[in-house]
């Protein structure tokens, strides 16, 4: 089950799983000599993935992916479960960060961190981008706005999967 430290306290060693009531898996984490070391996964009460990443010396390290529980609010709009991806180094956000929208999974905010602080250029997608997408993520109805940095490239409406009206 583990080793002991100098004081004789048991140190966790191995893969441990933590459970909610009703035998619902909450998380799985790898321990080595009492420190989180290696793969980590946590889960929504529904059993769907919540967060996945890795630890090094008890600190988040490398790429972490966070997801949201699948919620279908409109049958015409596929829901995306991907919430964010981010890079960690020595327990601090350090590197690329991307947050995704609930619909179609398109990024809505992206940038980077340096030693836990936002750093450099950050981009966000403003306003309504779409109201409905098909399975491939293409707009089928609603308002659409395409941007390249601060400049709007195109704007218009879709109806039945086709551009409609003035663009």
Q: What is the pLDDT at residue 149?
A: 46
Note the pTM of the prediction, 2 decimals.
Answer: 0.69
Q: For residue 59, what are its two tokens?
A: 């600190």
Residues 88-140: pLDDT tens digits? 999 999 999 999 877 667 788 899 999 999 988 888 875 444 444 455 555 55
CB contact at 8 A, 67 and 46: no
Rounded average pLDDT over 40-59 = 94
Local confidence band at 141 (pLDDT 50, 70, 90 cut-offs): low
Q: Which residues pair with 159 in a beta bridge?
A: 162
pLDDT at res. 8:
60
pLDDT of 37 higher than 60: yes
Q: What is the pLDDT of residue 129?
A: 45
**Judging by beta carbons within 10 Å of its beta carbon (0-12, 13-18, 19+), is residue 75 exposed, middle or buried?**
exposed
Confidence band for 1, pLDDT divided at 50, 70 and 90: very low
Task: Express as a percent the part of the chain with pLDDT over 90.
Answer: 37
**CA-based angle 158:147:70, to the nearest 5?**
65
How much is the pLDDT for 78? 59
């Amino acid at each position: 089950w583990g080793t002991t430290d100098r004081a004789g306290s048991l140190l966790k060693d191995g893969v441990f799983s933590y459970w909610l009531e009703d035998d619902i898996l909450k998380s799985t984490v790898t321990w080595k000599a009492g420190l989180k070391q290696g793969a980590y996964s946590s889960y929504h009460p529904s059993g769907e993935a919540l967060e996945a990443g890795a630890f090094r010396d008890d600190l988040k390290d490398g790429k972490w992916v966070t997801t949201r529980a699948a919620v279908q609010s409109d049958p015409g709009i596929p829901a995306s479960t991907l919430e964010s991806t981010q890079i960690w180094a020595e327990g601090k956000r350090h590197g690329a960060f991307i947050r995704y929208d609930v619909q179609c999974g398109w990024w809505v905010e992206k940038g980077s961190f340096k030693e836990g602080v936002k750093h450099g250029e950050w981009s966000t997608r403003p306003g309504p981008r779409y109201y409905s997408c098909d399975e491939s993520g293409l707009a089928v109805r609603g308002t659409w706005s395409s941007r390249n940095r601060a400049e709007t490239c195109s704007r218009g409406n879709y109806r039945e999967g086709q551009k409609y009206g003035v663009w």
